[in-house]
Amino acid sequence: MNKKERGRKMETDVVKLAPSILAADFARLGEQVAEAEQAGADRIHVDVMDGHFVPNLSMGAPIVQSLRRVTRLPLEIHLMISDPDFFLDEFVEAGSDSFLVHWEGNGNLHRTVQRIKALGKRAGVVINPATPAAVLEEILQDVEQVLIMTVNPGFGHQHFLPTTLQKIRRVRQMIEQIKSGCDVEVDGGIDAETAPLAVAAGANVLVAGTAIFGESEEVAAAMDRLRASIKQLWKQPQRVECTTSKKE
């Protein structure tokens, strides 16, 4: 590992980057994921949409199967579908490492989470912008990550909703009390302007599609820009305190 790579690694030990392939050039998907891996991505975020749970269609297990051949990074599957339980097996067979399932519309979230764990995979719960943090209280001890949607799910390239910052703070506070070590991940509109806000509020995993794959710059340069934006926080002690404080 050279000096630059070591520097990247040190920063991502604190805040992890999860590039979302929704914004990638699908004709060069393998290449772009390999670039993200080389540039120090921590996991690859795969958005699965069924045109029913969200008003858009995206991709299914065959994409995961192809990605599994080109990267060793964990593949996290964000299921924006109506019947997540029904598709878990085929995504596991394809090589998925973790699943993010929505609280909304799930008649028995606990059962879904237990099924994911029984399959030997990491489980996370997702909440939409209008869903309060309080719904997480009884499921937190069973999951390893919480994904807070910072846009309404279904599309990339949307604007970050600043009203979600207060919720990120609340979730961080709940996690410190109930399940320390659980990841607080944010998804939607994350770029060099919003990433520091989300991290200061308590996020430690950033999903980013457009900011990593959607710009004209190279994937590595885009990831460096995101990291540089977060680095500012470490130079301002009062904002770092905000990420770890148990007070709101």
Active site residues: 47, 187
**Shortest approach of ligand DX5 to residue 151 CB, angstroms?**
6
8, 78, 122, 170: which one binds Zn ion (CB under 5 A): 78
Cα distance between residue 162 and residue 95, in whole Å:
35
Establish if 76 lies at the interface with Zn ion (CB under 5 A).
no
Residue 98 near ligand DX5 by CB under 6 A: no
Which of 182, 207, 223, 233 touches ligand DX5 by CB under 6 A?
A: 207
What is the distance of C-alpha 85 from the center of its chain?
A: 20
CB 113 within 8 A of CB 142: yes
How many binding residues for ligand DX5 (CB under 6 A)? 22
DSSP 8-state code for residue 235: T
Distance CA(83)–CA(115), nearest Å, equals: 13
User: Binding to Zn ion by residue 167, rule CB under 5 A?
Assistant: no
208 binds ligand DX5 (CB under 6 A): yes
CA distance 70 to 65: 9
| Residues near 7 by beta carbon (within 8 Å), at least 6 away in sequence | none
Stretch that binds ligand DX5, among 62-70, 116-124, 146-154, 164-172 (CB under 6 A): 146-154
Give CA–CA dist 81/11, Å, rounded: 33
Question: Which residues sit at the interface with ligand DX5, rule CB under 6 A?
Answer: 20, 22-23, 45, 47, 78, 151, 153-158, 187-190, 207-211
User: Using CB under 5 A as the criterion, which residues of the chain lie in contact with Zn ion when the complex forms?
Assistant: 47, 78, 187
